[in-house]
Structure 1
Amino acid sequence: MSLQHQAALAKKYIRYYFKSGNRHDVHSPFVYTLLDEVLNDRAFRPAYTPVEDLRKRLLSSDEVLQITDLGAGSLTGATNTRKVRDIVRHAAKPPKFGQLFYRLIQYFQAHQVLELGTSMGFSTAYMASAGATVHTIEGCPNIAAAAGKNIASLGLSGAVQQYIGNFDDELPRVLNGMPAPDVVYIDGNHREEPTVRYFLECLPHVKATSCLIFDDIHWTDGMERAWETIKAHPSVTLTIDLFFIGLVFVNPDFKVKQDFVLKF
């Protein structure tokens, strides 16, 4: 990430911080309970330990991978070769988000998860550890292979279905071949047009009770435009902006469309 991009992101975060609310600013019973029982729950779970032990090991790895970048990797200064430890340090979601995904899966009793962007498999592992079957798509074969080894080392291979290829090609096939997802996690490409397109492709396949998670919604101006487009879609009835991720719900039982910006 360039210094200019870091500075721009920092300014956006400051704006978010002063705009965001807490439980006292929430008047939706659904969101209040979600905030109280899931977002603000920092209690330790034994399932977190194996994933974080793996993270520590990989942060010391000297292994180098040849990278095929099909997304917006240029913003991270990525080249076609990267050390595993650098991918873990800069591309993998921090523990608090993986652990949030774990809690979301358990809270919603999600059985089927669709993930766009496996990376090294940390988020995949957290969601699979929570009891879901995770269908995960990764564009880079070498990263997918490394993620597969990581997932296997955690004993989670039986709960994870991996697909390798361009999202544009793989997403329609996966959506048509898997049960309706309870959770969709879009963490790949990080460009405006593809992000909106993936959302629109997923929409006919999700349930009314499904939760869609979007990564890096403030990463660039383009991603912020994508987030605003998704929020404005007539099927979307509730959104929660946590700065680094956004939660989207399409439940028609939410009669009044609401958008929340919450501290996390």
Structure 2
Amino acid sequence: MHSPFVYDFVTKCLYDKNQYSDYSKLSAYRNTLLRNGDIIVVEDFGSGSRKFKSNKRSTSQMARTSSTPLKRAKLFYRLSKYFKPKNTLELGTSLGVASHALAIGHSDNQIVSIEGCPNTSLYAKTQLSKYENINIITGAFENIIPRLKEDCFDIIFFDGNHNKDATIAYFEALLPKANNHSIFVFDDIYWSKGMTEAWAYIKAHTSVTVTVDTFHLGFVFFRKEQAKQHFKIRL
């Protein structure tokens, strides 16, 4: 890799093999969800689920099949710990696994997480009530984004609507909230033909300088001092 910034990000954050003591908190939170048999009636605003036929879902099933896996939660913890963001936005709270990881990775990280489904949002709020740096807002992304009070976000995680047009629309709507050091993270960039096309559009955008493609996640940087480069790595 020719970029010292990208090299450090990959080696010191993505490939960081340290077994942080906080990882036990990530496991405990996820295990609580896995043991819970609560039923949530889900109102899906995105592209739907490939794993659930019914809108009645147990939290244990959701944690096992559609929520952020533990390996990914650890990655988000490291991302927060490494970059030390002040403001983070998450599109799609689900059960709050990623929100939790981002919150404990850097305690000064103020997280706004938007969840469209009222019942899922309420459940996540209850589970994460002790974390004062997490603010979960219930509503459709297109309604909430224009009302966000923050001038900029250091990290924005797009994980709520696996649809090409919606992903591009949210990306463009949130570009004014990015600064030179912001990171946009896109989930499931190869989930469908449409998402693959959305990822190609984002990579080619004139405001984007560097991307790191890990297959499941795409990291986008806006550093004006960087030459435009795209990297693919294995996690």
TM-score category, normalised to shorter length: over 0.9
Q: What one-letter code is carried by the residue in structure 1 that aligns with 2:180?
A: A
CA offsets 1:41-74 (integer angstroms, 9 cap, x no match): 1211122212211211221221111110000124
Aligned to 2:71: 96
Distance 2:223 2:203 in 1: 13
Aligned to 2:124: 147
Distance 2:121 2:66 in 1: 14
**Structure 1 residue 240 and structure 2 residue 212: aligned?**
yes
Aligned to 1:87: 62
Greater relative contact order structure (CA < 8 Å, 6+ sep): 1
Aligned to 1:44: 19
Aligned to 2:145: 171
Determine which structure has the larger helix proportion and give its number.
Answer: 1
CA offsets 1:116-169 (integer angstroms, 9 cap, x no match): 0000001001111122110000000111111111112xx31x101111011111
**Structure 1 residue 129 and structure 2 residue 104: aligned?**
yes
Secondary structure of the residue that 1:196 maps to in structure 2? helix
Aligned to 2:160: 188
Long gaps (5+) in structure 1: 1-25
TM-score by length of 2: 0.96
Q: How big is the shift at 1:247?
A: 0.1
Q: Is the alpha carbon distance of 1:71 and 1:78 closer, same or farther for their aligned partners in structure 2, counting shifts above 3 Å? A: farther
The list of structure 1 runs, each at least 4 consecutive aligned residues, that deviate by more than 4 angstroms after superposition, is: none
CA RMSD for the aligned pairs?
A: 1.1
Distance 1:143 1:170 in 2: 17
**Structure 1 residue 253 and structure 2 residue 225: aligned?**
yes
Number of aligned residue pairs: 233
TM-score by length of 1: 0.85
Q: What one-letter code is carried by the residue in structure 1 that aligns with 2:229?
A: Q
* 8 A contact 1:112–1:179 mirrored in 2: no
